[in-house]
Amino acid sequence: MESGKFFPAMKGGLLDSTAPTDVQNAAPPEDGHIAGSSVRGDVPLLNEQTPTRWEKIPLHSGAKQKFKWEYGSVHLTRRWNYFITRMGWNPSSPLARAQFEVKPFCTVQNPGQPFWDPNANLIPQEPTEHLCDLPKRTGYHVILAVWEVASSPMAFYQIVDATFEERKSSSASGPD
């Protein structure tokens, strides 16, 4: 879904701290509308959060995970941030900032500036893949992936519902 950039900020008109010449943000999605906020109108179905509503992707706690972005339209990109729900979050409540860790567990930054310079190299590869270290978690969690556009006040939000399992240690035992 599309909404203002700089999550978990709550207001618009903010400058990017690492690229102050980028376009100021529009207001990011409100609490309770993080999964389904869109410039084309709210998508209420996506905001209906329950522990059993969505299919969950199995992930391994503490593992490296590849995230793949495929674009309908490529935009000049400042960064991608990956947030995760806190330990003890309430999966029966609508998604709110208080349920997510304040800092992303993975950030991929495009340092080129200014965004209008063709040599800034802000056009992402298609597809874009990131390899991130997952935090230690068990059970059901939500990953919020945010793709921030440099030349726009907007960002694109993706939600991944995941069940975290402990990594099984592989112990090879030979013949006695």
| Structural domain includes residue 105 | yes
| Structural domain includes residue 171 | no
| Structural domain includes residue 173 | no
Q: In three state form, how does the secondary structure of the chain look?
A: CEEECCCCCCCCCCCCCCCCCCCCCCCCCCCCCCCCCCCCCCCHHHHCCCCCCCCCEEEECCCEEEEEECCCCCCCEEEEEEEEECCCCCCCCCCCHHHECCCCCEEEECCCCCCCCHHHCCCCCCCEEEEEECCCCCEEEEEEEEEEECCCCEEEEEEEEEEEECCCCCCCCCCC
| Structural domain includes residue 174 | no
- Write out the chain's pLDDT in tens, 176 residues: 899 999 999 999 999 999 999 999 999 999 988 987 655 555 444 455 666 667 899 999 999 999 999 999 999 999 999 999 999 999 988 899 999 999 999 999 999 999 999 999 999 999 999 999 999 999 999 999 999 999 999 999 999 999 998 766 554 444 44
Q: Give the CATH number, domain containing residue 145.
A: 2.70.50.50
pTM of the model: 0.88
What is the number of structural domains in the chain? 1
Owning domain of residue 27? 2-165
